[in-house]
Structure 1
Amino acid sequence: MGPMLSRGRGTAVVPPQWAPSAGELAGDGAVWAWQEPAVLLVEDDAADAMLVEELVADSTPGMRLTWARSLGEAQTELANGRPDCVLLDLHLPDAQGLAALERVLRAADGVAVVVLTGLAEEQTGLAAVAAGAQDYLVKGRVEPELFGRAVRYAIQRKQAEQAAVALQASQMRAQENSRLERGLLPTPLLRPDCRVEVVARYRPGRAHALLGGDFYDVVQSADGTVQALIGDVSGHGPDEAALGVALRIAWRTLVLSGAGAARQLRMLEEILSAERSGVEVFATLTVVSMSPDGETVGVTRAGHPGLLVRSGSRVERLEVPGGPALGILPPGEFAWPAHELRLPAGAGLVLFTDGLFEGRIGEGNERLGEDGLLRLAREAGTLRPEAFVDALIGRAEALAEGDGGLLDDVAVVHLTRGREATEDR
């Protein structure tokens, strides 16, 4: 008989009757199952190709074998469909050695590759494995019972490599999201003797599972004024979250440098215009400034929803005059008006993003809306700040359960002048 194929040395084998499915390796709980692989043989020698067919018939009759006589033919086959494994001879009329392997790896991304070498080319086989092949087979040795195992093992090894790469990418995304979350969830910068109580909550929406563009911050400036920011970058995902973090950090810097609300918004709009991923991206926000004695509060709105005012057990909605969201008009074309209000002792302000009231509720699948949110707030009006905020989010979430819960991000900031004389229910 002419030359045949056998296993290269140094490679473990798995039981021939079982092989893991792609689902099993991806971690979806699939069971191990018999799978007959599809194999593309790239071999210009007709005798060697016929012997590979005999090996398939003897070891794995169900294997689907396709024969390509050149690398050009192989690339055409790969363009029309992806096999589970490529058996590659390194001596082809249109490609030689590791250059042939490199071209196959580019054309067959995600496909296991097993190279075919001669008896005196074992070092070439090892070099091919180092260059990206899953295994190598040596021509000239007759071991048909191991042939099927070699192919299945190569497929399994490639799937395991892809699963490991996917896991590493997932871990890197999780680490990046963790860094973004730390930027989105700042620690309020307040003096120890500050008499303003701050309760803040952030919850990413279920629709995108990770992070969105909602952001907030609270900073006490040098003269004792407590300033708070809440905002929402349009869209969801890491890009929007990163832009939200950039705007929040820039705002904190502006507050600490003594900039007033008007200058803060002008500078934030310039930063948004420079940092956003596209001209369609905009941001809504509200800035409040509570005087050192807590009696007066300045409110500046840029396309953002209104706020809630709590006084005793009473809750009212306040929507002061404002202006367009940042990024809608060219920088410098609009000056946002500031509105001043007086705040009784023990009163509180509640700032929030629109994700809190945009959930769909009831049989009519209508949005909760700001009126519905006000109703929920009044029902929880006697609760202390932390319990009030948690109840507000929880009740809005419960009402939206039929539509999958609150799909958008939610940020809430509760500011209280002094400590409210209320009790939990």
Structure 2
Amino acid sequence: MTAAAVGEPAGEDRPETLLLVEDDAGDALLIEEFLADSGLHARLTWARSLGQARELLTDGESPGCVLLDLHLPDAQGLDALREMLAAAPSAAVIVLTGLSEERAGLAAVSVGAQDYLVKGQLEPRWLGRAIRYAVQRKQVALSAAALQVGRLRAEENARLERGLLPRPLVSDDRLNVVTRYRPGRVHSLLGGDFFDVVETADGAVHAVIGDVAGHGAAEAAMGVCLRVAWRSFVLAGLSGARLVGMLEELLLAERDDSEAFVTLTSVTVAPDRERAMIVRAGHPGLLSYDAAGRVRLVEPPGGIALGMMPGLGGWPEEPVPLPPGGGLVLFTDGLFEGQTGPDGERLDLAGLVELAREAGGAGLDAERFVDALISGAEAASADHGGLDDDVAVLHLGWRAP
């Protein structure tokens, strides 16, 4: 195995990195001379077999282009090409064939090579041009593949978003429901935060907000599963601790990771809007405010997160009085866990309550109130990377009769 710089002097352009896989020393020397005369600024590495080529690819950077002989001591024909394509998926591959093997060259292109060259017809200018064009075609193909992956990911994200963040199912025009979701800056995709609001035939309003631990498609899919199940259970007449227990059973049946867990808060607001029954499973508290904009943090007793200790999580259902013309704000921990100081200080719940009181005191409407909470939390952590976790906020308000 040898490496040599050929073509133009180093420093004028970034050299093209080439790997020649050729067992014939005479052919290898001829190709090196042609490259030197081609005007292509390149750094050539020579491997005598496919095995040596794999070692080079493992130990060093991937080359921009591979010149591959189809007759090697340890690999022959299209099998050699397939193995090289698998070993260097980001490199352009040009196959080197004999005078009587043009059909083999065409077959190689159909398998995945960017081009083929006949050894007996090589000329310096054609060799340099073929390498440039092959590298460009490979870069275009890689870019197109990346765009396709991005498009498919965006479509998947949109489907998950529709499942995680549904339209509230309410008919009472006195209700004021505002929802917001903002993915964390680290991953910029949906995580496992979910919420929902359903009004049942008796006039009660049921709301849930939850957070599947972790980020990614699996967590988002689990969030969709739990959110849809929650709505189904509510419409079937379940509520309170029994409903939460059913959700844990579903989590245990569906999760791939035995350590996966979910925090959530489930709220049932009575038809008279004077009280709510709240069940918390490892989730942070919620905010309550009155018609004058006075805000307080509500943290009724709760149980452990779903899936933490299966079958052992008793979840008390706690009544909470509600002020006329007020509302509730449910949220996930991403809203208050942003770093605000150089020593790891966090906004925390106390800081969030202060933000809410400032916004409530300003007499903002529900949408502006929720947006002020999120923008205030972002501003507080802006000097330390901003909010890096998903943020979900659910506002549930009502006008006084």
TM-score scaled to structure 1, two decimals?
0.85
Partner of 1:85: 65
What are the ranges of 5 or more consecutive residues in structure 2 without an aligned counterpart? 1-6
Preserved contact between residue 222 and residue 256 of structure 1 (Cα < 8 Å): no
Partner of 1:317: 297
Greater shift after overlay, 340-349 or 167-176? 340-349
Q: 2:364 aligns with which of 375, 383, 407?
A: 383
Partner of 2:3: none
Q: 2:244 aligns with which of 245, 265, 268?
A: 265
Structure 2 residue 323 is the aligned partner of structure 1 residue 344: yes
Alpha-carbon distance in structure 1 between the residues aligned to 2:395 and 2:122: 77
SS at match of 2:46: strand
Alpha-carbon distance in structure 2 between the residues aligned to 1:309 and 1:62: 69
The superposition leaves residues 322-343 of structure 1 with CA deviations (integer Å, 9 ceiling, x where unpaired) of 111111111x323311111232
The superposition leaves residues 229-280 of structure 1 with CA deviations (integer Å, 9 ceiling, x where unpaired) of 0111112222222211111111000001111212210111112222233222
Q: How far did 1:72 drift?
A: 3.6
Q: 1:256 aligns with which of 224, 229, 235?
A: 235
Q: Structure 2: which amino acid aligns with 1:346?
A: G
The superposition leaves residues 99-135 of structure 1 with CA deviations (integer Å, 9 ceiling, x where unpaired) of 2222222233322211112223222211111111111
* RMSD of aligned alpha carbons: 2.3
Alpha-carbon distance in structure 2 between the residues aligned to 1:311 and 1:90: 79
Structure 2 residue 295 is the aligned partner of structure 1 residue 295: no
Partner of 1:143: 123
Greater shift after overlay, 266-275 or 85-94? 85-94
Greater shift after overlay, 74-83 or 100-109? 74-83
Q: How does 1:366-381 map to 2 (within 5 A)?
A: 366-381=345-360
Preserved contact between residue 63 and residue 91 of structure 2 (Cα < 8 Å): yes
Preserved contact between residue 279 and residue 316 of structure 2 (Cα < 8 Å): yes
Alpha-carbon distance in structure 2 between the residues aligned to 1:296 and 1:246: 29
Q: 2:160 aligns with which of 180, 184, 201?
A: 180
Change (3 A) 1:132 1:198: same
Structure 2 residue 390 is the aligned partner of structure 1 residue 405: no
Structure 2 residue 210 is the aligned partner of structure 1 residue 237: no
Preserved contact between residue 42 and residue 74 of structure 1 (Cα < 8 Å): yes
Preserved contact between residue 287 and residue 301 of structure 1 (Cα < 8 Å): yes
Structure 2 residue 393 is the aligned partner of structure 1 residue 417: no
Q: How does 1:87-166 map to 2 (within 5 A)?
A: 87-166=67-146
Q: How far did 1:345 drift?
A: 2.2
Partner of 1:69: 48
Partner of 1:286: 265
Preserved contact between residue 309 and residue 347 of structure 1 (Cα < 8 Å): yes
Q: Report sequence identity in percent.
A: 60
Change (3 A) 1:379 1:167: same
Alpha-carbon distance in structure 2 between the residues aligned to 1:413 and 1:61: 61
Partner of 2:149: 169
Q: How does 1:156-235 map to 2 (within 5 A)?
A: 156-191=136-171, 193-235=172-214
Greater shift after overlay, 338-347 or 255-264? 338-347
Alpha-carbon distance in structure 1 between the residues aligned to 2:369 and 2:97: 73
Greater shift after overlay, 301-310 or 107-116? 107-116
Structure 2 residue 380 is the aligned partner of structure 1 residue 393: no
SS at match of 2:121: coil
Alpha-carbon distance in structure 2 between the residues aligned to 1:213 and 1:297: 26
Preserved contact between residue 39 and residue 87 of structure 1 (Cα < 8 Å): yes
Preserved contact between residue 181 and residue 390 of structure 2 (Cα < 8 Å): yes
Q: Structure 2: which amino acid aligns with 1:44?
A: D
Partner of 1:11: none
SS at match of 1:361: coil
Greater shift after overlay, 218-227 or 398-407? 398-407
Q: How far did 1:221 drift?
A: 1.5
Change (3 A) 1:128 1:198: same
The alignment covers a number of residue pairs equal to 388
Alpha-carbon distance in structure 2 between the residues aligned to 1:152 and 1:366: 53
Preserved contact between residue 215 and residue 231 of structure 1 (Cα < 8 Å): yes
Preserved contact between residue 362 and residue 399 of structure 1 (Cα < 8 Å): no
Preserved contact between residue 217 and residue 248 of structure 1 (Cα < 8 Å): yes
Q: How far did 1:363 drift?
A: 6.2
Alpha-carbon distance in structure 2 between the residues aligned to 1:125 and 1:282: 55
Preserved contact between residue 306 and residue 313 of structure 2 (Cα < 8 Å): no
Change (3 A) 1:50 1:248: same
Greater shift after overlay, 352-361 or 216-225? 352-361
TM-score scaled to structure 2, two decimals?
0.90
The superposition leaves residues 328-368 of structure 1 with CA deviations (integer Å, 9 ceiling, x where unpaired) of 111x3233111112323212112111222212225665212
